[in-house]
Amino acid sequence: MNCPECGKEMTEGFLQGNTNSLFFNMQRQKSAVCGENGVCMAQGRLRPADFGGFICKECGIVVFQYKNSLR
């Protein structure tokens, strides 16, 4: 998938979170923690999340389908 902002190829990975933070991991983490090269996207009180998606680190854009939860 290409970035809707800059048009470059986006990196595929996993949007994962726990009750305290949300991150985009390049490798899916079983325990929903920020993995190597992961990007922390939010901190604060959240609900657990685990989705496949794409990221453009340059533009700060993440694209994911909220109906494709990986549970």
In the numeric block, the tokens 């494709």 are attached to 68
Binding mask 5-34 for Zn ion (x = CB under 5 A): xx----------------------------
Stretch near Zn ion under the rule CB under 5 A, chosen from 12-20, 30-38, 39-47, 50-58? 50-58
64: enclosing H helix or E strand: strand 61-69
Q: How far is the CB of 54 from Zn ion (least distance, A)?
A: 10
CA-to-CA dists, residue 20 to 1, 50, 62, angstroms: 29, 14, 19
Q: Which residues bind Zn ion (CB under 5 A)?
A: 3, 5-6, 56, 58-59
